[in-house]
């Protein structure tokens, strides 16, 4: 009796590996570096599978692989900017209506657990301008709760916010400010 061995095509194996990696990295809350590395590794596997099915030319296969890795990195950077913008909008929204010296709480709860949820306090340290260009300087904290291995901690930062219509927006030139694009 002759046995027939069925092998899965390389594309199916690569796709399964990519999906498994994406699932594992999205299930681990707060693992931004794992998310980034997992996406790049998955893109490498997928790129290799595509290249192997399209060509036997090493230069072309390398180009396909590098393109897949570059696309994955760009996707990771974009998703991180979206999350950072959300957090900054939450801080600006809490600080906007405050008078100088008043303190409010802020929190950012992410729907996709790639980065940890964050919370803290915010105060307005000074009004920069009023009238047609309303801007404020703020001091905010990012508070970490105590665990059995480490005590509670707070990091403090300074930023600027400005009113954009009825909404207060982040105005500091650092990550998630759309002006800088891919250079963040």
Give the pLDDT confidence of 66-118 residue by residue, as tens digits. Answer: 777 777 777 777 777 778 888 899 999 999 999 999 999 999 998 877 778 89
For residue range 131-141, what is the model confidence (pLDDT) as tens digits? Answer: 888 999 999 99
Residue 21, classed as helix, strand or coil, is helix
* pLDDT for 62: 67
* pLDDT for 17: 47
* pLDDT for 29: 42
Average pLDDT (116-125) is 92
pTM check: above 0.75: no
Q: What is the number of domains present in the chain?
A: 1
**130 vs 21 pLDDT, higher one:** 130
DSSP single-letter state for residue 150? S
Compute CA distances 134 → 9, 129, 171, whole Å.
60, 5, 11
* pLDDT for 27: 43
Q: What CA–CA distance (Å, rounded) separates 102 from 126?
A: 11
Concatenated DSSP letters of 96-140: TTPPBT-EEEEEE--SSTTS--EEEEEEEEEEEE-SSS-EEEEEE
Tell me which residue range forms the domain holding 108: 1-184
């Amino acid at each position: 009796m002759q046995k027939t061995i069925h092998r899965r095509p390389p594309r199916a194996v690569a796709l399964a590996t990519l999906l498994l990696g994406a699932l594992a990295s999205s299930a681990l809350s707060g693992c931004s570096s794992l998310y980034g590395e997992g996406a790049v590794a998955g893109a490498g596997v997928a790129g290799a599978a595509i290249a192997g099915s399209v060509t036997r030319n090493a230069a072309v296969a390398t180009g396909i692989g590098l393109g897949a890795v570059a696309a994955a990195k760009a996707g990771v950077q974009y998703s991180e900017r979206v999350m950072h913008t959300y957090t900054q909008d939450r801080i600006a929204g809490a600080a906007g209506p405050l008078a100088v010296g008043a303190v409010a709480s802020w929190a950012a709860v992410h729907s996709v657990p790639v980065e940890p949820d964050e919370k803290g306090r915010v105060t307005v340290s000074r009004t920069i301008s009023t009238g047609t260009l309303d801007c404020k300087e703020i001091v905010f904290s990012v508070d970490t709760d105590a665990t059995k291995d480490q005590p509670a901690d707070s990091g403090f930062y300074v930023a600027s916010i400005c009113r954009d219509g009825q909404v207060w927006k982040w105005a500091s030139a650092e990550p998630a400010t759309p002006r800088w694009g891919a250079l963040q």
